[in-house]
Amino acid sequence: MLTQVHLLLTYMCNSECDHCFVYCSPAAKGTFTLQRLRHVMEDAAAVETVEWVYFEGGEPFLFYPLMVEGMRIARDKGLRTGMVTNAYWATSEEDAALWLQPLSQLGLADLSISDDPYHYEKRDDNPARRAFAAAKSMGMAASVISIEKPSVATAESGGRGKGMPIVGGNTRFRGRAVQKLAEGLPGRPWRDFAECPYEDLREPKRVHIDPYGHVHVCQGLLMGNVFEQPLSQIEKDYLPDSHPICGPLLRGGPAALAEEYGFVHRGDGDYIDACHLCYLDRLSLLERFPHCLAPRQVYGLG
């Protein structure tokens, strides 16, 4: 029962954060056209259970007129709207209000602003703080997304037992985080990761749709393409247990996916978290399952 559609309006971003799941950057390709946006909104609205559309990326404010038009279409279709931004545009609180006013008038129901040390080293005054203050003073519903950088702590219990090093913080090790942040951090044995802890792969309530039409159940893990089939049909046809990647993940997490396809482990067979193993499993399967694992750019390729 899908209730939320999150549109990756663009893979382009003014930033290039080390932890970015989908390898966004100023040079990243892939942005919705208005025609494609209309198509996807039509499709989303045709799924009776969908209530929300989120605009995110990449950085959706880079394509401000398209984003505003998307909100207008969503409103006309009776959908609630949310937005995720790094607020690079908030040069002052007063200026931030200029950017927010049209969104407020269109009934934006949830503004999520990234504000953490990955995005802004300066913690007391930064664009995210200014945007948040402006939104609040305008009576808008706003919240902050904060991802902590990884830190090494000592386990009090767990797979390797008391006293062993574990990685703290809420960074998830997929996408660019694997390339940029994994080096030198302690891992756990691959067999420890016997479930997906974060996504409901059996009955997804939320999917991400990118400018190529890919419908992601987790970033880079697909259930279909809205430019080949309507979203309602994709949802109806989705058989999670028979899906070549979701099936093994449901049966036994990233460890089962590795076993099913004979994944060759790194030297010590240790991984920082479930996503780390899952992401590397999937990276090794890209050529074999191109319809389930795409686009290549979210795997740091091409």
Among 129, 174, 188, 216, interactor with ligand SF4 by CB under 6 A: 174
As given in the structure block, the two tokens for residue 293 are: 């694992």
- 15 counts as binding ligand SF4 under rule CB under 6 A: yes
Which 58-77 residues touch ligand SF4, going by CB under 6 A?
58-59
Interface pattern 113-152 for ligand SF4 (x via CB under 6 A): -x----x---------------------------------
- 254 counts as binding ligand SF4 under rule CB under 6 A: yes
- 196 counts as binding ligand SF4 under rule CB under 6 A: yes
- 42 counts as binding ligand SF4 under rule CB under 6 A: no
Interface pattern 221-240 for ligand SF4 (x via CB under 6 A): x-------------------
Tell how far CA 199 is from the center of its chain. Answer: 11
- 216 counts as binding ligand SF4 under rule CB under 6 A: no
Cα angle 272, 150, 299 (rounded to 5 degrees) comes to 60
Binding range to ligand SF4, per CB under 6 A, among 12-20, 44-52, 127-135, 261-269: 12-20
- 218 counts as binding ligand SF4 under rule CB under 6 A: yes
Q: How many angstroms separate the Cα of 180 from the Cα of each of 57, 125, 234?
A: 20, 27, 34
Please enumerate, as own/partner, the contacts of 278-281 that have beta carbons within 8 Å and a separation of 24 or more: 278/174, 278/193, 278/196, 278/249, 278/253, 278/254, 279/173, 279/174, 279/175, 279/178, 279/220, 280/178, 281/254, 281/257
Tell me the C-alpha distance between 185 and 57, whole Å: 28
Binding range to ligand SF4, per CB under 6 A, among 15-23, 70-78, 91-99, 204-212: 15-23
- 57 counts as binding ligand SF4 under rule CB under 6 A: yes
Closer by beta carbon to ligand SF4, 45 or else 285: 285
Tell me the C-alpha distance between 181 and 148, whole Å: 12
Asked if residues 75 and 106 have their Cβ atoms less than 8 Å apart, the reply is: yes
Phi, psi of 46, rounded to the nearest 5 degrees: -75, -15
Using left for φ > 0, alpha for ψ between -120 and 50, and beta otherwise, residue 230 falls in beta
Size of the site for ligand SF4 (CB under 6 A): 24
Among 12, 51, 46, 17, which Cα is nearest to 32's? Answer: 12
Binding range to ligand SF4, per CB under 6 A, among 43-51, 136-144, 181-189, 194-202: 194-202
- 13 counts as binding ligand SF4 under rule CB under 6 A: yes
- 178 counts as binding ligand SF4 under rule CB under 6 A: no
Tell how far CA 150 is from the center of its chain. Answer: 18
Which 257-296 residues touch ligand SF4, going by CB under 6 A?
274-275, 278-279
Phi, psi of 19, rounded to the nearest 5 degrees: -95, 5
Interacting residues toward ligand SF4 by CB under 6 A: 13, 15-17, 20, 24, 57-59, 86, 114, 119, 174, 196, 198-199, 218, 221, 249, 254, 274-275, 278-279
